[in-house]
Amino acid sequence: KSRQLIEAERLAAVGETVAGLSHTIKNIAGGLDGGMFVLEKGIELEDTAYLQQGWKLVRGNVDRIKTLSLDLLNFAKTDRMAYRPVDPGQPAREVFDLMRSRAEAHGMDFVLEVETGLAPIQMDPAGIHQCLLNLVTNAIDAVLDTEPADGEQRITVSVSAAESGGVRYRVADTCCGMDEPTKARLFQRFFTTKGERGTGIGLMLTRTIVHRHKGTIDVDSQPGKGSCFTINLPDRPR
C-alpha cells in the first residue's frame, strides 16, 4: 500500500470515530436536556412523579457519560500495555466482586469458577480486568433486556488452563442470545443494539486489548438460549 493510501484510510477512520462520538455525545446531551425539562416541570407543578422521572433521566445519562469517558480513556491506553506476571484468576475475581451485588440485586445467579494451580502469565492486568468487565456488563444488560425472565438467569465467569499453554476466560449467560446479523457486527466500533443506552465501544475495546496480548476472542451464541464469550491468552504476548 502506498503511504498516501494508508494516510487517507487513517483519516477516514478518524473521521468515522469523531462522527460516531459526536453522535453518542449528542444523544447523551439530548437525554440530559429531556431530563431537566421534566425536572423543571416537576418543580413548577410540585409533582413528585415528574421529579422522579426527570431525576432518573438525568442520572442515567450521567452514568452514560461516565461509561463513555472510561471506555475512551481505556481505549487511549490500549497503546501502551504494561505487562507483568499475574495470577490469571486475579482480574476475574476483581470483576466478580465488583459486579456481584449488581447481578444479585436483579436476582441473577452469578457464578465464578477458577481452576486451581494456574501458573502466572504475562498480561496487563488492568486491560484484562476491563475486558472481563465489559463482557460481564453485557451479560447483565442481556439479562435485564430479557425480563420478564422465565426462570432464573445465570451468568458464569470461568478461568481455566488453555490447551495452548496460556489461559482461557469464559463469560457465559443464559439470556436472549444473538441473531446472525448482530453476531457479524458485534466487534465493530459504535455497533450497539441498545439504542440510547449503548455506546458500542465495549467489545471493540475488548478485542483490541485481547489482540494486543496476541490472544483470541470468540463468541458462541444462540438466539433464545444464551451467549458465551471465550478469551484465550498465550502465556506471554510474543
Where along the sequence are the contacts to ligand ADP (CB under 6 A)?
A: 134, 138-139, 142, 173, 175-176, 178, 182, 186, 191-194, 198-204, 227
Q: CB 142 → ligand ADP: shortest distance, Å? A: 3
Q: CB 138 → Mg ion: shortest distance, Å? A: 4
Which among 204, 100, 117, 197 is positioned nearest to 156, based on CA atoms?
100
- Residue pair 174/153 in contact by the 8 Å Cβ criterion: yes
If contact means CB under 5 to 8 A according to the sort of partner, which of ligand ADP, Mg ion, none does residue 121 touch? none
If contact means CB under 5 to 8 A according to the sort of partner, which of Mg ion, ligand ADP, none does residue 142 touch? ligand ADP
* Separation CA 99–CA 93 (nearest Å): 10
Q: CB 144 → Mg ion: shortest distance, Å? A: 12
Q: What binding mask, one character per residue, do residues 160-199 give for Mg ion by CB under 5 A, x or -?
A: ----------------------------------------
Q: What are the C-alpha distances in Å from 156 to residues 26, 164, 189?
A: 35, 22, 26
Q: What are the C-alpha distances in Å from 198 to residues 67, 138, 193?
A: 10, 10, 7
Interaction of residue 202 with Mg ion, rule CB under 5 A? yes
Alpha-carbon torsion (78, 84, 88, 90), positive or negative: negative
Q: Which three cell numbers stand for residue 46?
A: 410540585
- Residue pair 88/121 in contact by the 8 Å Cβ criterion: yes
Q: CB 153 → ligand ADP: shortest distance, Å? A: 11
Interaction of residue 138 with Mg ion, rule CB under 5 A? yes
Q: Which three cell numbers stand for residue 228?
A: 458465551
> Which CB, 148 or 195, lies closer to ligand ADP?
195
> Which CB, 204 or 217, lies closer to ligand ADP?
204
Interaction of residue 206 with Mg ion, rule CB under 5 A? no
The residues binding Mg ion (CB under 5 A) are 138, 202
